[in-house]
Amino acid sequence: MGRDEREVVARGARLYAAARGVCGDHGRAVEAVQEALRPLQDEAVARELDATPVARLQEATGGRVQWESVERSGLRTVGRVLEAGPYRLRQVPGVGRRTADQILAAARRLSEAAHETVAVRIDVDRPEPRTSALVIALNLLVEAGPDGRRAVDMAEGLALRLGPLLAEAGPAAGRFRMLLAGREKRSRALAAVDGIRSLVEDAERAGALGLLAQASVDLLREPATDIAAWVDFELRSAEYYSLLAEIPGRAPDVGAAQGFLPDKLAERVRRQRLDDSRLRVSLRGYQEFGARFALAQRKVLLGDEMGLGKTIQAIAALTHLAAKGQSHFVVVCPPSVLVNWVREIEARSTLRSTLLHGPDRHDAFADWRSRGGVAVTTFDALRGFPAPEGGEIGMLVVDEAHAVKNPKTLRSQAVARWVERCERALFMTGTPMENRVGEFRDLIRMLHPGVADSLTEGDALTGSVAFRQAVAPVYLRRNQKDVLAELPALQHTDEWEEPSVSDEEAYREAVAAGNFMAMRRAAYLRPEKSAKLERLREIVREAGENGQKTVVFSYFKDVLGVVGEALAGSVPVHGPLTGEVPPVRRQQVVDDFAAVPGPAVLLAQIQVGGTGLNMQAASVVVICEPQVKPTIEQQAVARAHRMGQVRRVRVHRLLATGGVDERLVRMLAAKTRLFDSYARRSAVAEATPDAVDVSDVGIVQRIVEEEQARLGLVGEEPPAVGQEESP
């Protein structure tokens, strides 16, 4: 036993002290958050219990209590029962000591459950001392960033392993202690020294001391001012809420976060390791699971509802593979989100991105092949590149994958060739099935032919639970309401307007001509007396008075033009975003809209603005007319109501009574139920065979003919159904 062993123990002790210090600093920061959170959580629980009828407690007494007597005594809610206490309860006729104790015990159980599940929402528009204290406490952890989280994880692991080893190696810390120790203790001490040496050398190679020292500096800095913390919260609210969800004592819905996968499959995914060393952001629990799912299952469809961060889950999977030695990756997406993908890759990871688009795309392709990184390209451009050899591509990511659900199209065939040649493929879409279960099956077939071939229309119609179980190995979907408790409320309002005389005349002319597209926009054809346009002005004016920004969606460019002229001069108007606007310019328009310090309006074609662009600067959404496909509206709304949104989102859908709008709304409701049955988690499918296979062209023709009959215009022009695809 000599100087070398003593030096190893000393180095281990220094590392152990640094690790314990970081754990303590982090623990105190978490305690500060918990202390700030407690009064807000208690208040939220109290509100929930005050809204819970006292009859919910009936099960606890076996139905022996006459709840009418309890309610007549003024104890109408669970909250009032808890406030009343045992003495007040025993004054109620028919309630004795034992029953009162049972009632209070049941009320306390409900209170405990509420404390575990209630969501604390931070209102950025109404800051007050208690919420400011919470935001300031969270700011310390947010500023520490992903490196801070990695340092804490490392510190906890080192402290857990070094502590016992240092205790066992105690005799080796001094020459005389070692001489006085017995043979068995000396043997254990030397073995512990070897263990300490291995841990210390590994930690030094990983730069542990520097990482731990920086983490302590970050965790011990002075708290931010309330103004600075609030500004940072509005910019990075998703990171604040992500930390809040992980505070000890708050139990997440594990089943929802894991997409309600079968237990064996979920366990397999959980065992998949995820190396996040090349990520620049922290993942939420459900996002980490999504990345693990993509890695464990190799070829999958991530169908998370919009706003849940599918992009960052894909990037996390790519960075893991890059850390394991893979060098080349490909992202295929619509032109509208090319720039967004490049931005996200560069901002959220250390990966290099290369844009394969435009006249120089083949030169860029050659550069990417030689240097590696993530190639970002479009569906159409992909067709011009040679399919890879086996093993060349670490992962192929296909965003908005529903664009390739038709196997007969050239873009679908090109994607299928690449998927076949790639070991891993990740399809992403919030709308994997719109009208036909068969189309969903075709999408799955590209990834896993065996799963697709095992599905039949009959299997789908037996119920969505069976359907989800069958596709579980290749399909993962989570919904906002299940995993993002912090999202502000989403308020939908159908704004039914009585058409003006001028509106009616324009609509009648469109019906007589059999022009379905003109029928849909008739309410804006004569803007000087448009009922819808007047209501839209009111909504925008009200939003402006509250300092809120508004996004206005329409399928039609000419409707957006009318809206822009009507709002000009009253509020800054940006756009319109249409199919003719280049992808790079689209993102710039959205950025300019977000940068306006006060009220502003962004105009966008719903099929353009509803794909890939993040519009969470807006808290008011106006949809000028109902759409033929419900998923188009859902995508558009999700661009504002998504992770990172800090205000309540109000959605106003402008509808005219008595005509095409009413008929479309009824059909949209039926199609939405179909989507919910199969693409969301649901107990019973609500579809019939003809509902699954309904044709949009058939809808158009039927609506036009029924409207002609209603208005006594039978025998006029035949329906112009083919115009549906041209805005």
- Domain with residue 262: its CATH number is 3.40.50.10810
- Say whether both 520 and 650 belong to one domain: yes
Name beta bridge partners: 656. Answer: 497
Q: Identify the pLDDT of residue 338.
A: 85
* Tens digit of each residue's pLDDT (9 = 90 or more) over 169-213: 877 665 556 555 566 777 888 888 899 999 999 999 988 989 999
The larger pLDDT score, comparing residue 87 to residue 296, is at 296
In a domain, 243, yes or no: no
- Say whether both 283 and 333 belong to one domain: yes
Q: Dihedral sign for Cα 613, 618, 619, 622, please.
A: negative
Q: Dihedral sign for Cα 284, 285, 290, 295, please.
A: positive
In a domain, 356, yes or no: yes
**Whole-angstrom Cα distance, residue 539 to residue 622?**
8
* Residue where a domain terminates, one of 93, 117, 141: 117
In a domain, 246, yes or no: no
pLDDT band, residue 461 (cuts 50/70/90)? very low
In a domain, 242, yes or no: no
* Tens digit of each residue's pLDDT (9 = 90 or more) over 688-697: 333 333 346 7
In a domain, 241, yes or no: no
Mean pLDDT of 35-41: 92
Mean pLDDT of 295-309: 90
Strands in 490-497's sheet, in edge-to-edge order, are: 490-497, 649-656, 620-623, 550-554, 601-605, 573-577
Return phi, psi of residue 432, to 5°.
-70, -20
**What's the token pair of residue 57?**
């407690």
pLDDT band, residue 718 (cuts 50/70/90)? low
In a domain, 375, yes or no: yes
Distances (CA, A) of 53 to 50, 58, 72, 78, 111: 8, 10, 13, 6, 13
- Say whether both 466 and 500 belong to one domain: no
Q: Is 63 left (phi over 0), alpha (psi -120 to 50) or beta?
A: left
Q: Identify the pLDDT of residue 530.
A: 93
CA 242 to the chain's CA centroid: 11
- Say whether both 264 and 366 belong to one domain: yes
In a domain, 202, yes or no: yes
The larger pLDDT score, comparing residue 64 to residue 247, is at 247
**Whole-angstrom Cα distance, residue 727 to residue 553?**
13
* Residue where a domain terminates, one of 482, 515, 549: 482
In a domain, 244, yes or no: no
- Say whether both 345 and 416 belong to one domain: yes
Nearest to 19, CA basis, from 134, 154, 186, 133: 154
The contacts of residue 335 (CB under 8 Å, 6+ apart) are 357, 378, 582, 583
- Say whether both 224 and 262 belong to one domain: no
Provide the domain limits for residue 87: 46-117
* Tens digit of each residue's pLDDT (9 = 90 or more) over 608-620: 865 556 677 888 9
- Say whether both 569 and 498 belong to one domain: yes
The contacts of residue 621 (CB under 8 Å, 6+ apart) are 550, 551, 553, 636, 637, 640, 641, 649, 650, 651, 652
pTM score > 0.85 for this model?
no
Radius of gyration of the chain (CA): 30
pLDDT band, residue 639 (cuts 50/70/90)? confident
* Tens digit of each residue's pLDDT (9 = 90 or more) over 319-370: 999 999 999 999 999 887 788 799 899 989 999 999 999 899 999 999 999 9
Mean pLDDT of 160-174: 82
First to last CA, the chain: 85
Mean pLDDT of 148-153: 90
Q: What is the DSSP letter of 77?
A: B
- Taking residue 386's Cβ as centre, other Cβ atoms within 10 Å add up to 9
Q: Identify the pLDDT of residue 505.
A: 95
**What's the token pair of residue 559?**
């409707």
Here the CATH number for the domain that contains residue 590 is 3.40.50.300
**Whole-angstrom Cα distance, residue 523 to residue 497?**
10
Q: Mutual orientation of helices 583-595 and 338-348 as an angle, nearest 10°?
A: 60
- Say whether both 207 and 302 belong to one domain: no
Do 165 and 15 touch, CB atoms closer than 8 A?
Answer: no
- Say whether both 112 and 142 belong to one domain: no
Mean pLDDT (the chain, rounded): 84
Here the CATH number for the domain that contains residue 93 is 1.10.150.20
* Residue where a domain terminates, one of 435, 450, 482: 482
Q: For 544-576, give the DSSP string.
A: HHTT--EEEEES-HHHHHHHHHHHTTTS-EEEE
Mean pLDDT of 39-59: 85
Above 60 in pLDDT, residue 602?
yes
- Say whether both 197 and 288 belong to one domain: no
* Tens digit of each residue's pLDDT (9 = 90 or more) over 325-337: 999 999 999 887 7
Above 80 in pLDDT, residue 669?
no
Strands in 475-476's sheet, in edge-to-edge order, are: 353-356, 373-378, 328-333, 395-399, 425-428, 299-302, 475-476
- Say whether both 24 and 154 belong to one domain: yes
Percentage of the chain beyond pLDDT 90 is 44
The larger pLDDT score, comparing residue 224 to residue 608, is at 224
Q: Identify the pLDDT of residue 217.
A: 92
Mean pLDDT of 256-269: 89
Containing H/E element for 311?
Answer: helix 310-323
- Say whether both 33 and 60 belong to one domain: no
Mean pLDDT of 216-236: 89
**Whole-angstrom Cα distance, residue 232 to residue 93?**
55
The larger pLDDT score, comparing residue 308 to residue 413, is at 413
How many domains is the chain partitioned into structurally?
4
